[in-house]
Amino acid sequence: MHRRDVLKGLAAVPLMTIAGRVWAAPKADMRTLVVFLRGAYDAANVVIPVSSPFYYESRPTIAVPKPGSHPDAAVPLNPDWGLHPALKDSLLPLWEKKQLAFVPFAGTDDLTRSHFETQDTIELGQPVHGTRNYNSGFMARLATVLTRTKPIAYTEQLPLVFRGGHAIPNIGIGSVGRPGVDDRQAKLIESMYAKDALGGAVSEGFKVRDDVYKTVEMAAADRGAISAKGFELSARRIGRLMRDQYNLGFVDVGGWDTHVGQGGAQGYLAGRIGELGRALAGFAQEIGPEAWNDTVVVVISEFGRTFRENGNRGTDHGHGSVYWVLGGAVKGGRIAGDQVKVDHATLFQNRDYPVLTDYRALFGGLFQRAYGLDQKLMAQVFPGVTAKDLALV
Amino acid sequence: MSRLAQLALLIAALAPGAQAHAAEAPAQPAAAPPAAHAPAPPPAQAVAQLGAADLAFIDRVTWGVNESTAAEYQMLGRDRWLERQLHPGAKDRLPAAAQAQIAAMPISTQPVTDIATALTTQQRTANQIQDPELRKAGQQVSGQAMNEIGRQAAARSLLRDLYSPDQLREKMTWFWFNHFNVHLYKSDIRTTIGDYEEHALRRNALGKFRDLLHATATHPAMLRYLDNAENAKGHINENYAREIMELHTMGVGSGYTQEDVQELARILTGVGVNFQPLEPTVVRMGFVAQPDHIRTGLFEFNPNRHDYSVKHFLGQTIEGRGFPEVEQALDILARQPATATFVSRKIATYFMSDTPPDALVARMAQAFRSTDGDIVSVLLVMFRSGEFANSLRANDKYKDPMQFVLSAVRLAYDGKVILNPQPILGWLNRLAEGLYNHPTPDGYPMTAAAWNGPGQMAVRFEIARQIGSNPAGMFKALPPDTTERPAFPQIASAFYFNAVQPTLGAATRAALDQAASPQEWNTLFLSSPEFMH
């Protein structure tokens, strides 16, 4: 379907009310950032089933202590769930402001337990059984059905999720330097690609390079020396870029495949999760209060990990995960979606969290609310999927 | 017309008897760079009678066509040259300047066991220092020593990639490293990564697939990387077991189950490493040698950590009997039809097309099965196929960053041997395909879409500018002698005028004509769509 035809079809779409505003749907005034934790983060040790004795039995060396039992204990979110203490300073305030929700038992119907296969599954957002089209990611399809989208991947490689459709820019956000190829040279290079299949990518590449460099330079000037580093620095830059220029973003962060010595309240995973928390809080700060109110950040991962710790104080590949949804207009401060008691009997294949909320149904529900997508457009983003409305925005 | 078809015409034009035609190309005013910096068109070169398909063929088999490689190809003819590529001698045929650098490296003169035990002992000692300040200093010294060993391995690897006439062995070494990927920065892998590349992979790069499986399954770099060194009876870690099937042999979705993963993990219990110095052989009172125990260098099979019960793996029963179980499992995996197909498809994807024809993959897989995984036989089926010839004509294989950077340096400097690999390693990292630097076990992707996004194109042009502008420190020796040797990227060489220039499209020629300096001319050439493929 051509973009023009899509636009024509929009006339029939009714007006929707979101967060007290009347929006002509669908459009992309909402900002969406998807954060992909590649490597399968150990969800059960971050959003912790504190009311489950089975959790403490299953993780004799890596369980995070029960709320109140220890200075480094889990922070209670409600009677059943607690938060990893490494997120106390960064994300707990957002939870308390009801701007952060967690969706446990979320994931895919892909049972390969392969990182790469399942990451592809999620990014493509196509039915698991059947031929895959590797040139059609779900965020690329979303960008096509919406108007006024400015999509961008803050990644060194263009991820599958954004492949297909128009050339979508990508840029490694960790190290941004002054461009050495000057404007005249850039024009000469573009001229060489005028009739080449990569022409669009080349022009877009120079543009995004300049946009990002300007923003990063300005941010540096505003703040003096930014002390943040690593993913926190990246997330702060992304906040600036999404405040001013882009409204549909994707970023990934690795280092979650904790087969050995992952630690509990402290240790390796605590360090990673602490950095992630500071990054998301930094993002919210940089994007600013006004834009934050129109922003939804969704944190996902390809699957969860084995509920029981393995022989090396780590965890192996599992199934269900816990997704995070945060933003100024998010109806948070709650654990959303279908849930079961965390126990031996409810484990999937006697080893993992089950999946009760499909990632496509979750995103579908969010997109319907945020962008007012009708069934027809929804079916273009996620063919054959029934959206699940968790009323998150 | 494709770049290579044009290249063929040009080269054909240079053949004796076609001199009149050859003289036309450099004489076209529109094709020559501005006089201010244009190198004088050179006399006709010896590189003649090579067709476009020949040049494309060289480009695929090597890390990039340049004058010296084209000359050897021309001297031998395609068949004999390919024969030589497929069956290189055991000894390196490197230029003396490159050979001398490698010979001077400690990784060339000391056994890996000595290096790794010394460095990890040093690290442990540093970690045990009580005083925090001293401990930090000690850890820094030990970390730097490990980095240096990793750096040497990378330098050796690049020297061979750039200058070895046996290019296919080096390219297949990279391919297998990527297939059996490990990450430089995990644990103590820096101390063994050079040995992994040299002895586990390069030695078997054109050998039998089964030997690669054995070599990787018993190498400390792999056992550390995928955590099998931690896998023991009662303390199961299934990381390596899963990736062997998913990434190294059969491929995901090829029919194995979660139970197979768990059974293979049990088979692999006790397969690990031992970085303690070998003790002198002393017979202690009451000491009973365990018959199944194996210790070879840093590799150790520890029967005390092995699960001796019966396993059921891919439909076969494996009796508990120690390390021979692992060999049996690897035999089973190497002979799976899925393995032959998976490996063949990956080779074809790397060398010829993002979407290699199924019929060709099937013939390669057939060769794999009928020769018990003889890699040369598989490569021969591909190189001699009509499909491969077609892919040369289409010339749509987009260079990954490794091919882009190395082909640029090979073309710009040919046999002038670099003294410092850091600029190249830095460029590869910026292009997100750093040497030994892919953290996850899937290795780098091989298709164009992974490398030609807008942001990546912009970075590629930045790197083109850096390579094209000056030697960027590549010819500055490492301390203590940091003299910089004079060097300048010579792309507009005789080889360029004779072979490359006429292959360029009108848009690229027009842009090159507007270059304001030789540096800018180089930048534009290395940025051109013709050079990206």
Per-residue pLDDT band for B287 (boundaries 50, 70, 90) equals low
| Chain B residues within 8 A of A157 when measuring between CB atoms | 432, 445, 450-451, 453, 456
Amino acid identity for residue B178 in this structure: N
User: Interhelix angle for B167-179 vs B132-163, to 10°?
Assistant: 140
Distance CA A295, CA B66 (A): 52
- What is the ipTM metric for this complex? 0.86
Please, what is the end-to-end C-alpha distance for chain B in angstroms? 14
CB contact under 8 A, B440 and A257: yes
| Chain B residues within 8 A of A188 when measuring between CB atoms | 511, 514-515, 524
State the nearest Cα–Cα gap between A243 and chain B, in angstroms.
20
| Chain A residues within 8 A of B346 when measuring between CB atoms | none
Q: Name the β-bridge partners of B296.
A: B299
Distance CA A73, CA A88 (A): 10
Long-range contacts of A9-14 (CB under 8 A, 24+ apart): A9/A376, A9/A377, A10/A147, A13/A372, A13/A374, A14/A372
Rounded to two decimals, the pTM is: 0.83
Per-residue pLDDT band for B503 (boundaries 50, 70, 90) equals confident
The region that residue B44 occupies, defined by phi over 0 for left and psi between -120 and 50 for alpha, beta otherwise, is: beta
The total number of residues written for chain B in this structure? 533
- Name the closest residue on chain A to residue B442, using Cα atoms: A116
| Chain B residues within 8 A of A189 when measuring between CB atoms | 461, 511, 524, 527
The residue written with tokens 């979110």 in the block is A77
- For residue B179, the surrounding DSSP H or E stretch is helix B167-179
- Name the closest residue on chain B to residue A153, using Cα atoms: B455
**3-state DSSP assignment of residue B25:** helix
Closest CA to B368 of B384, B376, B246: B376
B400 shares contact with chain A (CB less than 8 Å): no
Mean pLDDT, chain B, as a whole number?
88
pLDDT per residue over B118-175, tens digit each? 999 999 999 999 988 899 899 999 999 999 999 999 999 999 999 999 999 999 999 9
Phi, psi (deg, nearest 5) at residue B440: -100, 155
Cα torsion through A300, A301, A302, A306, rounded to 10: -130
Distance CA B355, CA B343 (A): 14
Per-residue pLDDT band for B297 (boundaries 50, 70, 90) equals very high
Closest CA to B530 of B490, B493, B502: B502
Residue B359: C-alpha distances to residues B365, B367, B371 (Å): 10, 13, 19
Q: Which of A38, A194, A259 sits opposite B239 (nearest CB)?
A: A259
Give per-residue burial for B465-501: e unless 16+ CB within 10 Å, then b. bbbbbebbebbbeeeeeeeeeebebbbbbbbbbbbbb
pLDDT score at A222: 63
**Is the omega angle on the peptide bond into residue B106 within 30 degrees of 0, that is, cis?**
no
Residue B291 has pLDDT above 80, yes or no: yes
What average pLDDT does range B302-307 have in this prediction?
96
CB contact under 8 A, B461 and A191: no
Residues 327-366 of B with CB under 8 A from A: none
What average pLDDT does range B510-520 have in this prediction?
94
Residues 6+ apart with CB under 8 A from A352: A303, A304, A305, A306, A307, A318, A319, A320
CB contact under 8 A, B234 and A311: yes
Q: How many CB pairs (< 8 A) connect A and B?
A: 163
| Chain A residues within 8 A of B450 when measuring between CB atoms | 157-158
Q: Which of A114, A181, A311 sits opposite B237 (nearest CB)?
A: A311
Residue B203 has pLDDT above 60, yes or no: yes
A97 touches A328 (CB < 8 A): no
Residue B46 has pLDDT above 60, yes or no: no
| Chain A residues within 8 A of B261 when measuring between CB atoms | 113
A342 touches A304 (CB < 8 A): no
Residues 6+ apart with CB under 8 A from A247: A28, A29, A30, A31, A32, A148, A149, A150, A151
Residue B459 has pLDDT above 90, yes or no: yes
Distance CA B36, CA A242 (A): 46
| Chain B residues within 8 A of A61 when measuring between CB atoms | none
| Chain A residues within 8 A of B510 when measuring between CB atoms | 191
What proportion of chain B, given as a percentage, has pLDDT over 70? 89
- Name the closest residue on chain B to residue A118, using Cα atoms: B252
Of B188, B266, B399, B461, which to mutate for an interface test with A (greatest number of A Cβ within 10 Å)?
B461
B307 shares contact with chain A (CB less than 8 Å): no
Residue B28 has pLDDT above 60, yes or no: no
What does B363-431 look like in DSSP terms, one character per residue? Answer: HHHHHHHHTTSBHHHHHHHHHTSHHHHHHHHH---PPPHHHHHHHHHHHHHTT---S--HHHHHHHHHT
| Chain B residues within 8 A of A180 when measuring between CB atoms | 462, 465-466
Per-residue pLDDT band for B279 (boundaries 50, 70, 90) equals low
**Is the omega angle on the peptide bond into residue A26 within 30 degrees of 0, that is, cis?**
yes
A135 touches B435 (CB < 8 A): no
What average pLDDT does range B176-200 have in this prediction?
96
Distance CA B39, CA B490 (A): 10
Residue A158: C-alpha distances to residues A134, A205, B131, B139, B238 (Å): 12, 11, 47, 37, 31
Q: What is the mean pLDDT of each run of 10 residues along chain A (393 residues)?
A: 40 37 48 96 98 97 95 96 98 98 97 90 89 89 89 90 87 86 96 94 93 83 62 93 93 93 96 97 96 96 96 95 97 97 96 97 94 90 93 94
Per-residue pLDDT band for B280 (boundaries 50, 70, 90) equals low
A99 touches A80 (CB < 8 A): no
Q: Are strands A357-358 and A100-107 parallel, antiparallel or unpaired?
A: parallel
CB contact under 8 A, B440 and A115: yes
B524 shares contact with chain A (CB less than 8 Å): yes
Residue B347 has pLDDT above 50, yes or no: yes
Q: Evaluate the CA torsion angle A114, A116, A117, A118 in order and state its sign.
A: positive
CB contact under 8 A, B453 and A189: no
A180 exposed, middle or buried (CB, 10 Å; 0-12, 13-18, 19+)? middle
CB contact under 8 A, B252 and A116: yes
Residue B321 has pLDDT above 60, yes or no: yes
Per-residue pLDDT band for B34 (boundaries 50, 70, 90) equals very low
- Other C-beta atoms closer than 10 Å to the C-beta of B194 total 26
What average pLDDT does range B326-342 have in this prediction?
98
Which has more confidence, B455 or A19? B455
pLDDT score at B54: 87
Distance CA B178, CA B400 (A): 13
pLDDT score at B44: 44
pLDDT score at A227: 62
| Residue spans of alpha helices (H) in B186-291 | 193-195, 209-217, 220-225, 239-243, 258-267
Residues 403-462 of B with CB under 8 A from A: 430, 432, 439-440, 442, 445, 449-459, 461-462
